[in-house]
Structure 1
């Protein structure tokens, strides 16, 4: 039985990684910033972040003492996304950007909120005592995921995020949706994620093996397990930790999803319910 290869669609800049980058820039994952020209080793946690209708990334900060007193600050913006797993810590992807930070005044924040320039939870977080709202103008972004390191085409991403923001929607799923989506996946296969992995490996459904690594260093208790690395609007990324090697694979949906009902439909098309 031949192992599925990474198709040409998964190389370069496919829909899968475009969708993932949009989610990370829109609030998924844990974010931080660092003023790399002044304090490159001091990371400041981002309380909340989201894309705006103007093509900027809005961030809410509270621990800002290490930032220089300036109107424009060169910063590194990092986002780390963990897999929706409770019993294991698996990094699904990281995003690294160079950007210019600009502080948003109270009047500007009120104007942004009045016209719905960003999700409401961002303004709620910014209204907390000691919090400040800032905007990031991103100049360069790199995404590191299961298929390697990719340079993000910012114009394409900005156009998509701006269109979503103007329509009052966001990329799916974001952080608030991830565990519900992962549970819906597990419920469909009765907790047996390996059956979906087997479908990909047997070429029984659309998908690809993204990478294969030695299992050295993996605890014995974690071997023989299939993990959910990520559920995206474009498909499911799984990882199986075997005795000798660890395989990461992607099961592709027939069309992008935007909610739980559509997820159920696409899962049924990939593999019958167990």
Structure 2
């Protein structure tokens, strides 16, 4: 038997949907965003940003640079070449796991206060972006790019931004507000059930994929022989198993995409039941 079972059509489709879903969630406000104006001398970075998407699909960012900050001196009347990064960690409280990240090369354009005020009044801004924009030093900008690069447990996936946003209409799921509830639903299955799902993927008893497997040369003993929820979204469950000599990640797809927490909980239980059968 191969170390990595051959991926079936259903799993392949779920993985493709999952890739788009993760990128959409990150662009919509999940994770921690940062900007680097890499062509300025000296380079100027902004480490703390609110970010998200407008209903029309524009990437908006907001920050509060106080006088004296490097960001406060960025040009406000012309586009600035930037690298835009968003990194997302698992909700797991016991260990830090970076679950995914997106990277874009594009331009940042700060919007005039009157335009920002109109977007705010029209309810066009994501909540966190809107709150940051109303700060006395708040500044609202638009990031424009053609492509996005996603890093996740399956590797690196380049995507054209326009088709991605066209394919991902409506609100992402889970939303930023729902992520901890989704994580709790997955962990509510219990660690034994999560191990059973991973084992069933390896044994090819359920659909799924071993996304990665790496030799461990060092690590913290308290993480050994543990399994963690890296992520759960509308398409399925991503797990990471840590053993003394290897670390593996697994993806187990749901039978069908889910769009709310109750349906997700049912899909997780069905997944655990299939693995235990």
**TM-score interval (norm. to shorter):** 0.7 to 0.9
The question of whether the paired residues in 2 share the 8 Å contact of 1:113 and 1:120 is answered with no
**Equivalent residue, structure 1, for 2:137:** 130
Q: Distance in 1 between matches of 2:36 and 2:78?
A: 16
CA shift, 1:268, in A, is: 2.1
Matched, 1:225 2:232: no
**Equivalent residue, structure 2, for 1:27:** 29
Q: Distance in 2 between matches of 1:237 and 1:149?
A: 16
CA shift, 1:132, in A, is: 0.8
**Equivalent residue, structure 2, for 1:189:** 190
The question of whether the paired residues in 2 share the 8 Å contact of 1:194 and 1:226 is answered with yes
CA shift, 1:196, in A, is: 2.4
Q: Distance in 2 between matches of 1:66 and 1:80?
A: 25
- Per-residue CA deviations over 1:36-94 (Å, capped at 9, x if unaligned) read 11157543124311111222101111232352354211111001111111110111111
User: Which of 94, 109, 115 matches 1:102?
Assistant: 109
CA shift, 1:10, in A, is: 4.1
Q: Distance in 2 between matches of 1:225 and 1:210?
A: 17
Matched, 1:143 2:144: no
User: Which of 118, 126, 129 matches 2:125?
Assistant: 118
Query: Once superposed, which parts of structure 1, at least 4 consecutive aligned residues long, lie more than 6 Å away?
Result: none
**Distance change >3 Å, CA 222–CA 190, structure 1 → 2:** closer
CA shift, 1:267, in A, is: 0.9
Greater alpha carbon shift after TM alignment, 110-119 vs 68-77: 110-119
CA shift, 1:129, in A, is: 2.1
The question of whether the paired residues in 1 share the 8 Å contact of 2:63 and 2:132 is answered with no
Q: Distance in 2 between matches of 1:41 and 1:84?
A: 32
**Distance change >3 Å, CA 196–CA 66, structure 1 → 2:** farther
Q: TM-score, normalised by structure 2?
A: 0.87
Greater alpha carbon shift after TM alignment, 115-124 vs 256-265: 115-124
Matched, 1:80 2:87: yes
CA shift, 1:139, in A, is: 2.4
The question of whether the paired residues in 2 share the 8 Å contact of 1:34 and 1:40 is answered with no
**Equivalent residue, structure 1, for 2:63:** 61
The question of whether the paired residues in 2 share the 8 Å contact of 1:48 and 1:122 is answered with yes
The question of whether the paired residues in 2 share the 8 Å contact of 1:6 and 1:209 is answered with no
Q: TM-score, normalised by structure 1?
A: 0.88
**Equivalent residue, structure 2, for 1:48:** 50
Q: Distance in 2 between matches of 1:112 and 1:69?
A: 18
Superposed, 1:206-217 pairs within 5 Å as: 206-217=207-218
CA shift, 1:240, in A, is: 0.4
CA shift, 1:123, in A, is: 1.1
The question of whether the paired residues in 1 share the 8 Å contact of 2:193 and 2:272 is answered with no
SS in 2 for 1:272: helix
CA shift, 1:256, in A, is: 1.6
Q: Distance in 2 between matches of 1:191 and 1:182?
A: 16
Q: Distance in 2 between matches of 1:199 and 1:40?
A: 53
Give the number of aligned pairs.
267
**Equivalent residue, structure 2, for 1:200:** 201
Q: Distance in 1 between matches of 2:7 and 2:44?
A: 38
